[in-house]
Structure 1
Amino acid sequence: MTEHTAPRSLDLLAGKVVLVTGASRGIGAAASRLFAREGAAVVLAARSTDALDTLVTDIRSTGGTADAVALDLADPASIRAAVDHVDTLHGRLDGAFNNGAAIQQPGPLDTTSDEDVETQFAVNFRGHWIAMNAEAALMRRSGGGSIVNTSSIGSRRANPALPAYGAMKRALNSITETAAVTWAPEGIRVNGITPGGTETEMIGEWEAATPGITEQINASVPLGRMARPEEVAEVAAWLLSDRASMVTGASIPVDGGAGA
């Protein structure tokens, strides 16, 4: 894939119903477009319903199938309601890309606020825990499915700048592996991806709080640049597809070699 040319569709997700959380921007929005191009009926979930409506219109305008549902990952009832909405729309769920997240205020461990820790727990850990259980319950009805969780390169090593974020993402890696082993007999695969620096609004917010971080991230990547959201989405699409039928319990780096 070049800087300006997207790969042709392979129908990786043809006939599948896929839920995407955190779909309103960044990796989630790129994944939503890609999954639809690959043949999935996508249900897009996020707090920003205006952004979702625009994305749904864009996908439908190119012949894709898309719907939107409001979702607040800090609210367990909202998560369960979103999965119930998928059931109402399609009667089944084949894939879920749990991509929604909250970023903490960058800073060292001893200055991270209690509020930041609570938000990180609620969104980046508990929200995924609840979503995975609700998604798996719906997948069981049709004989299985695939779940992909977005973790972070910061979950695989010390994370002095984002300590609470890194801690909750490491916990997410653990429940990803546990769910993979627990649900394998039911035909439900569970994997994670651990992106490095990616050109998203989240990085822009971090740059505003810590000027120079973008240059620092680029310099740390052996390939010499951050990932584009579309590049991260490609890995999630493969994991959700039947091409990855023997892959479960894995955490796939998408970091240009930064974690090597």
Structure 2
Amino acid sequence: MRFGAALALGGLVPRLAAGLAGLVILSAIVFAALMGRLESRPPLELLPSLTASALAWGSGLLLAFASATQVLRRDREQGIWQLLRARGGTVKPYLWARLSGLAVALFAIVGGGALLTGLVAMLVARRPGLALSCAQSSLASLVYAAAFAVTLAPLAVAALGARTRAGGYFGLLLVIFLPELLLPWTEALLPGSWGELASLPSALAALRGALMPEHVDVERFVRAAVVLGLVAVAAFAYVKQQVANLQQERVPYLWSPRVERVRRR
């Protein structure tokens, strides 16, 4: 997992995504401190969830794009596969390293930002009830961040790992945002309780909304968790099939300074 996280965060664009996430988190913390000075009841309990959404679909999506683009072919050509085989590894450890490492990196950005914002919101809350609502919202945002990371990591690698850059970007955006655009029509076709789960952003929002203050809904949470779990399992199975197909191809080993540094460690 540590090896996969280091690979996921390596490079200019992932570091840029982490830097942008830091700016968003800092802005949210300053905003929470300013809202705490208001005499009227500020919507502090909404701030952790808004921060998590901004981080997920901003820095998180950018990190997923950068880390997953042609990652399966790059790892094969740069010797990552050979390195794991030399250590006695097979396909399963490689998939675990890549997918869990990317998921941990995504959760660290989204969940870490939501947690820090929630802690500041609890500290500046003027009433115990508001502080408790901020704590519950922070917990819901952490669950949202975990679901986002576990779902998007295999989905991004499935869409981008072995395809061309343009085709992978188009495919991932199609899978994520086209169902969201068609949601008004799909909601009419599906049963009322399942209509909001027809797209990934909406299903994640439903998962978090089921745990928010004054809106706790266990059935809604279970439905969203089942749908997101099915998406993650299907994406993982597709990634596994892509790796099996790439193993059948014969590609000459390409030396790279990055792999050489890993070998020396």
TM-score normalised by L of structure 2: 0.34
**Structure ranking higher on relative contact order (CA contacts 8 Å, 6+ apart):** 2
Q: Which has the larger radius of gyration?
A: 2
Higher helix proportion: 2
